[in-house]
Structure 1
Amino acid sequence: MVINEADIKVRYQETDQMGVVYHANYLVWFEIGRTQLIEQLGFNYASIEDEGVVSPVLDIQAKYKQAVRYGQTAKIKTWIEHYDGFRVTYGYEVYTQEGTLAVTGESIHVCVKKANFRPISIKKHFPEWHEAYLKAVEE
């Protein structure tokens, strides 16, 4: 399985009054990890948008286990948990600077035509992405 690792320096604006990362910011960090994983696989999300395709989130979940704090550098690990040619489930783990697991999560996505939001097959419309995703899950 291919795993992308992204480091995030926690900024003050991402925290609450206790200096703890505000929960919604982990979803942004998931997107950073997802984008970097796609780039690691040799693709660019903007290229599918140029073809009139977007990839909305169908479901997203996060489980909080440990606080990440202002000034720390968090590590986000991202991988493809499941892929069937149509839906993609990305998995995430966020670690504190000390290496403690802080957050786990997953998000489920499909590709749709931007004009009408009708789902499309990644396998059919983006065969190179399809093959790379299959390979990334197997490795």
Structure 2
Amino acid sequence: MKKIKTKIKVRYQETDQMGVVYHANYLVWFEIGRTEFIESLGFQYHDMEKDGIVSPVVDAHVYFKQPIRYGQDAFVETWIEEYDGLRTTYGYQITDEAGNIAVRGTTKHVIVKKDSFRPVSLRKKFPEWHKAYTQALGEG
């Protein structure tokens, strides 16, 4: 299974009054990791969007283990947890500099036509992308 790690420098505006990363920002960091993962496969979301296709989140889970604070570096590890040609579930693990797990989570996406939100088969519409996802899921 292919995994990539993306460094995030925690910025002041991402924290609350306790100096702890505000919980909603972890979903933003998931998106940063997911974008880096897709780019590591040689693809770009905006190329999909040029074809009138978007990839909304249809489900998200976030599990908080320990806080990350302002001034720390965080690392988002991203991989494909499940993929069936239509839906993709990405897995995430966010750690601090010492490798301690702060957050784990998943987001599930489906690609749809932008104008109608009708589902589209990634396998049929973007066969190269499908092949890369299948390979990334199976890499050891």
Same-fold status (TM-score > 0.5): yes
Match of 1:82 in 2: 82
Letter in 1 for 2:73: T
Measured in 2, the distance between the counterparts of 1:102 and 1:19 equals: 15
Measured in 2, the distance between the counterparts of 1:10 and 1:36 equals: 17
**Offset, 1:129:** 0.4
Contiguous gaps of at least 5 residues in structure 2: none
Q: Secondary structure of the residue that 2:85 maps to in structure 1?
A: coil
**Offset, 1:96:** 1.0
Measured in 2, the distance between the counterparts of 1:115 and 1:12 equals: 38
Measured in 2, the distance between the counterparts of 1:68 and 1:59 equals: 24
What's the RMSD between the two structures over aligned residues? 0.4
**Offset, 1:98:** 1.7
Measured in 2, the distance between the counterparts of 1:23 and 1:36 equals: 21
Letter in 1 for 2:46: A
With the length of structure 2 as denominator, give the TM-score of the two structures. 0.98
Measured in 1, the distance between the counterparts of 2:125 and 2:59 equals: 23
Match of 2:69 in 1: 69
1:29 lines up with 2:25 in the alignment: no
With the length of structure 1 as denominator, give the TM-score of the two structures. 0.99
Match of 1:136 in 2: 136
Match of 2:122 in 1: 122
Amino-acid identity (%): 60
1:106 lines up with 2:106 in the alignment: yes
Measured in 1, the distance between the counterparts of 2:55 and 2:109 equals: 6
Match of 1:2 in 2: 2
Letter in 1 for 2:133: Y
Contiguous gaps of at least 5 residues in structure 1: none
Please show how residues 10-49 of structure 1 align to structure 2 within 5 Å. Answer: 10-49=10-49
Letter in 2 for 1:42: G
Listed one character per residue, the Cα deviations across residues 21-51 of structure 1 (whole Å, up to 9, x for unaligned) are 0000000000000000000001001000000
